[in-house]
């Protein structure tokens, strides 16, 4: 069931977002700045205290409309605050609050989408654990053990299955767009999201995580593209490296992957013996060059390797650096 018509929002329509008076109210005054967290392509994220919620810590993501307008003539697809607004609206539906997997999507603050001056603000929960990229790269070998990887991944698969079931394709899944809070992962950053049930032709996402059909400029199913990105994410958790680091290595890697599967890649890298067969099978079911052969997010969430991760944990040794 689609709770909002994502497809009606063109990715390049960001300059129009300040023209709808019913969407925004200037509520910035209720927030007190604590510290800046990071700069983004079109603004920044910062930690604030929400005075209306008992000084609760929240994160405000600011998107500068003038910065978006500066590049409005470029053919590249830009982050669109309206896409995130539609996801916020979907998540505010009381029916979604109890749906399985909702807990693995970032929580937005009530009245969490507003404008002030020439910027759009998106207010969301503060996830003190930071993002998954920083967490993984702080580990020896920039990877985690298989048991921990599957525990994290199971939550991600559940969150992505929830999004797809409610009509949202993320289109920019990556370690950087997964937050950690109290031992749980939270999918965030929906500026490139789209209607999960309509084909797309936009070239979006980070190169490491981009499905082959997107890189080739083909029309694609965004749900299947998300599953590829999810597979790359698990691959990085387990190996500390993306499938390919640049365009020169992409073609030969895809040829091996298409002909022999991901198990051959792991064998060539000397990592196959360090990862269990069910987990290699899980990777293989997602990292299919032909999108029609990939599992759905729901099928991924019910894969035997994922179900096994929900059993009592027996931490496996991380692969040697």
Which residue numbers are catalytic?
172
How many whole angstroms separate alpha carbon 88 and alpha carbon 294? 28
Q: In a 3-state reduction of DSSP, which class is residue 81?
A: helix
What are the residues whose beta carbons fall under 8 Å from the beta carbon of 225, sequence distance 6 or more? Answer: 169, 171, 200, 205, 210, 211, 213, 214, 291
Q: Outline where the chain has alpha helix (H).
A: 65-70, 81-92, 94-97, 132-137, 146-165, 212-215, 222-239, 247-260, 262-268, 277-286, 297-301, 304-309
Strands 168-169 and 119-125, sheet pairing? unpaired
Q: What is the DSSP string of 1-41?
A: --SS-GGGS-TT-GGGGGG-TTT----GGGEEEEEEEEEET
Burial 81-120 (b: 16+ CB within 10 A, else e): bbbbbbbbebbeeeebeeeebbbbbbbbbeebbbbbeebb
What are the residues whose beta carbons fall under 8 Å from the beta carbon of 211, sequence distance 6 or more? Answer: 205, 220, 224, 225, 228, 229, 291
* Residue 86 near residue 166, CB atoms below 8 Å: no
């Amino acid at each position: 069931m689609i709770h909002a018509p994502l497809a009606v929002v063109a990715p390049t329509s960001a300059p129009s977002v300040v023209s709808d008076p019913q969407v925004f109210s200037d509520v910035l005054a209720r927030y007190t700045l604590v510290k800046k967290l990071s700069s983004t392509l079109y603004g920044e994220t910062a930690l604030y205290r929400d005075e209306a919620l008992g000084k609760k810590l929240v994160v405000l993501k600011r998107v500068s409309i003038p910065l978006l307008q500066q590049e409005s003539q470029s053919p590249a697809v830009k982050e669109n605050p309206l896409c995130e607004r539609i996801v916020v609206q979907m998540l505010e539906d009381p029916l979604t609050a109890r749906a399985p997997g909702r807990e693995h999507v970032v929580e937005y603050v009530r009245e969490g989408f507003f404008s002030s001056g020439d910027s759009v603000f998106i207010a969301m929960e503060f996830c003190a654990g930071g993002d998954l990229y920083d967490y993984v790269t702080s580990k020896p070998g920039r990877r985690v053990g298989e048991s921990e990887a599957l525990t994290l991944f199971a939550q991600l698969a559940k969150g992505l299955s929830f999004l797809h079931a409610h009509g949202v394709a993320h289109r920019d899944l990556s370690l950087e767009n997964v937050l950690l809070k109290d031992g749980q992962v939270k999918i965030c950053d929906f500026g490139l999201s789209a209607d999960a049930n309509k084909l797309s032709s936009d070239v979006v996402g980070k190169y490491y995580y981009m499905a082959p059909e997107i890189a080739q400029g083909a029309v694609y199913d965004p749900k299947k593209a998300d599953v590829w990105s999810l597979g790359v994410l698990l691959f990085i958790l387990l190996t500390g490296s993306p499938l390919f680091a640049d365009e020169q290595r992409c073609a030969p890697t895809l040829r091996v992957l298409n002909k022999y599967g991901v198990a051959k890649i792991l064998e060539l890298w000397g990592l196959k013996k360090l990862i269990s067969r069910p987990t290699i099978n899980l990777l293989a079911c997602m990292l299919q060059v032909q999108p029609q052969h990939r599992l759905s997010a729901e099928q991924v969430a019910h894969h035997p390797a994922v179900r096994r991760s929900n059993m009592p944990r027996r931490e496996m040794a991380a692969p040697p650096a």
